[in-house]
Chains A and B, each alone.
Chain A
Amino acid sequence: MSATTGAPPVADTDTDEMVTVRDLDVSFGATRVLHGVSMSIAAGKTVGVVGESGSGKSTLAKVLVGTVRPENGQVTVDTIDVTRISHSQRGAFAYRRRVQMIPQDPFSSLSPRRTIGQTLAEALDPLHARVRRYSETIAFWLERVGLSADMMARYPHEFSGGQRQRVAIARSLIVEPSFVIADEITSALDVSVQAQILELLAEIKDSLGVTMMFISHNLAVVQNVSDEVVVMYRGEVVESGPVAEIYADPKHWYTRTLLDADPGAPGFTLDL
């Protein structure tokens, strides 16, 4: 379990892109959910995806993990063409282990009938899920996310929401993925717990060099953990770029509206 998860030390050019999305269209029936979405994530970087309900940000995540098939467009993760993988079972299996998703709801992300150890063992070995064989790795990762190794034998109901999210983070990282998607993982938590989880993520990102997509409706949260930000509105990317640039000088009216709607932002007013 080394601290370098196969990521190059510094990513400074566009050739080191881990994720590339080009002209992505997704429709469900007559409803167009994503339209002409393009974005890229450099290896070792975190991109925050911001948008409100209906912006299509969760659908984008589903396309990236391969559960939603795009209508048009190119999606490449770690040099694998995501639009093609579903054809071969083996390819899909290998791909899915390279891309991990941390779900939003801490109360539904862990099976209530399985111990934390069993859940993590399943991530390591989907077929047999033997806890004993992997107990060292599991213990390492539990401690890595700020829990203790003896929690392995416990069931999810014995944990708080924040602790469950830590387990979910451990589960996603334990397979040493190339790319992690965190989908609103703090929106169900109290602010102080949220702060701890964000701190953990930032620390892991720095020490492990994980490439991550951080989805949130909260601009302030995104700013905390991201290098770049992508703003989505009604299925389209309206603006993207380095965090500092976008937050200081938003070009699109929607980004400006979003920024001004944050109660802590200078542009915030309560006038209608």
Chain B
Amino acid sequence: MLYVGYVMFAVVLLVAVIAPIYYGDSATAMTSTRNSGPTGAFPMGTDGLGRDMLARTLVATRVTVLAAISATLLAALAGISIGVGVWLAPRRVREASLRVIEFWVSYPAMLVAIVVAAILGRGILPAVLAIAVANTAGFARLTANLAAGIASRDYVVTARLMGVPVGRVAARHVVPNMAEPLLILIAQAFAGTLVELAGLSFIGLGAQSPAFDWGSLLNEGVKKIYTNPILVVAPATALIFASMAALFIGDGLAAAANPRSNTSRARMLRAPVPAPASAATPVHSDALLVVDDLSVRHNDSGKELVSHVSFTIDRGEVLGIVGESGSGKSVTASVVAKLLAEGLTASAGRLSLAGADLFDNLSRKDLARRVALVYQDPGTALNPALTLGSQLSDVLVKVLGQKRTEARRNLVERFSEVLLTDPEGRLRQYPHQLSGGMKQRAMIASAMSTNAQLLVADEPTTALDVTVQREVLSLIKRMNKEMGTSVLFISHDLGVVRALCDRVLVMKEGEIVERIDDMAHLSPESVKHPYTRQLLAATPVVHVPGAVTAGSEALR
């Protein structure tokens, strides 16, 4: 798209340069063929003075494009300077200026242009100035916003603390880091400017006879639309072509700035050949979840994120999976919850949960009864636009078929179980009115309310303070003890996992490198794999000296 835009724009520029040289005379030459329709000599007709409309349109390219480029650059230069200046200004000036910019932006560019035209009179130069003034605000606002965003980044704060003069901070850090969005805006503004300038000419405030641009040609055409409709074709086509060129460039630049990975949909495949018996873990009768020889591949890159992983979770058991980022632990959890991300393919010899084959098309109700989830970031896991009651009751009412009042009662009860004060009131609140810890407790309450057999908890305490972490872990433990819910607990923190889990799997680069069954006696000596030992050593643990003795005095 970007290249199509470049080519189209190059064509426009070429016409702008060449056309006045070759067609300059025929564009202004009056012939006796007046108001002609399309003919061989005048494919786009002639105007009231017998001038060739095609030649006029081509020749007008130079004026139109030149005016649009100057107006865009003027606006960009002025706007960026104002934006940076506003950011550099003292706080009060900055706030006042931002208000004025907001005011300026909230009026149609066309209105601002009309005001300027009212002050400066008609003509192509006043029109260029008018559009530049109107669009300056947009640049100023974007620049000020970007600068404010960049200014709060640590590298700018640090540079200022280092004593780098504020002007140099702007030149070295702020302006270079906003080049991309500004470039996109320039392309978009050019398209807008072209249209607005021609618009001004169209309503008679731009180019004045004998000067002409696309807008004034279009205006002439529209006046004769009944008698000679061909006259509008050439200027209209030219306008569309040029503004599309600019739009394609703008869109192309924007797309290049935010590359979206091309993903294909998630697939779950039963492994074609049953896994060899040696790889399969022996399955006891009370296993709730059986995962046998699970592999997950990234479709496009072919990279294996999880390789030949097998494990089971018994009823009432808490299984932990520990690993660092990229170890495949979360992907494994998403397969178990049947929520594999787009673009991944999972295959396994066996995947069964509470007697159901996860490869089958399980009904939504069957799935909701089996698995409940708690996520890492309670700040984003809840829908910001819905009240807690509204979103948490959906699964109960619409999937599990409870009555609305029944679901509500259920949630109120669960909310008090997770020690949320004023449960009735909480249900009417929006997520942003709750703290992170409260949100996570609400998520656990929701998991409890569905009475699911397995709780999949993916790093549920990573974003929380230690005291809140302890509360959340306690709630999960209680859910496990009192309701008999099995838990798959994912974490990067071996310390957290050892406090909660009955058994732990250690994952590294998609593979299980160690299975720890005896959590009570976990120590660097009891584990076999060097990676586990390394993790254990790296996990910070509070050492409490036996007692306060003279020894600790000596430390001082």
Chain A residues proximal to chain B, CB less than 8 Å: 52-53, 65-67, 93, 96-97, 99-101, 103-105, 108-114, 119, 122-123, 126-127, 129, 171, 175, 190-192, 194-195, 198, 217-221, 223-224, 227, 242-245, 247-249, 257-266, 268, 270-272
Contacts and interface: CB of A to CB of B under 8 A. Distances in A.
A230 to B, nearest CB: 15
Interface residues on B, range: 35 or more
Contacts of A110: 155
A191 B539 contact: yes
B494 A191 contact: yes
Question: Which of B161, B177, B495 has the largest count of A CB atoms less than 10 A from its CB?
Answer: B161
Nearest to A65: B161
- Which secondary structure dominates chain B's binding surface? helix
A122 B169 CA distance: 10
A259 B556 contact: no
A259 B547 CA distance: 15
23 contacts: A52-B467, A66-B161, A96-B163, A100-B161, A101-B161, A109-B158, A122-B164, A127-B165, A190-B325, A191-B324, A191-B540, A195-B540, A219-B466, A219-B542, A220-B540, A244-B545, A244-B551, A249-B547, A249-B548, A264-B541, A268-B499, A270-B473, A270-B474
A104 B478 CA distance: 34
A263 B546 CA distance: 18
A155 to B, nearest CB: 12
B398 interface: no
Contacts of A109: 154-155, 158
Q: Would you list the 3 A-B pairs with minimal beta carbon distance, nearest first?
A: A264-B541, A220-B540, A195-B538
Contact of B542 (A104, A192, A245, A265): A265
Contacts, number: 170
Given A108-B154, A114-B173, A272 B471 contact: yes
Question: Which of A113, A191, A223 has the largest count of B CB atoms less than 10 A from its CB?
Answer: A191
Given A100-B161, A245-B552, 17 more contacts: A52-B468, A103-B157, A103-B158, A114-B173, A122-B159, A122-B164, A129-B164, A191-B493, A191-B538, A220-B541, A242-B555, A242-B556, A244-B552, A264-B540, A265-B544, A270-B477, A272-B475
B542 A244 contact: no
Contacts of A190: 324-325, 492
Contact of B173 (A96, A111, A261): A111
A263 B466 CA distance: 9
B534 to A, nearest CB: 6
A266 B544 CA distance: 8
Contacts of B467: 52, 257-258, 261
A122 B540 contact: no
Question: Which of B155, B159, B471 has the largest count of A CB atoms less than 10 A from its CB?
Answer: B155
A260 B477 CA distance: 17
Given A53-B465, A111-B177, A195 B537 contact: yes
Contacts of B499: 263-264, 268, 270
A223 B498 CA distance: 20
A213 B155 CA distance: 20
B542 A105 contact: no
B535 interface: yes
B542 A96 contact: no
A60 to B, nearest CB: 16
Contacts of A243: 555
A266 B541 CA distance: 10
B478 A272 contact: yes
B157 A221 contact: no
A248 B162 contact: no
B538 A194 contact: yes
Contact of B539 (A96, A113, A264): A264
A123 B162 contact: yes
A16 B548 CA distance: 26
B547 A248 contact: yes
A244 B539 CA distance: 19
A191 B325 CA distance: 10
B172 A127 contact: no
A214 B493 CA distance: 21
B223 interface: no
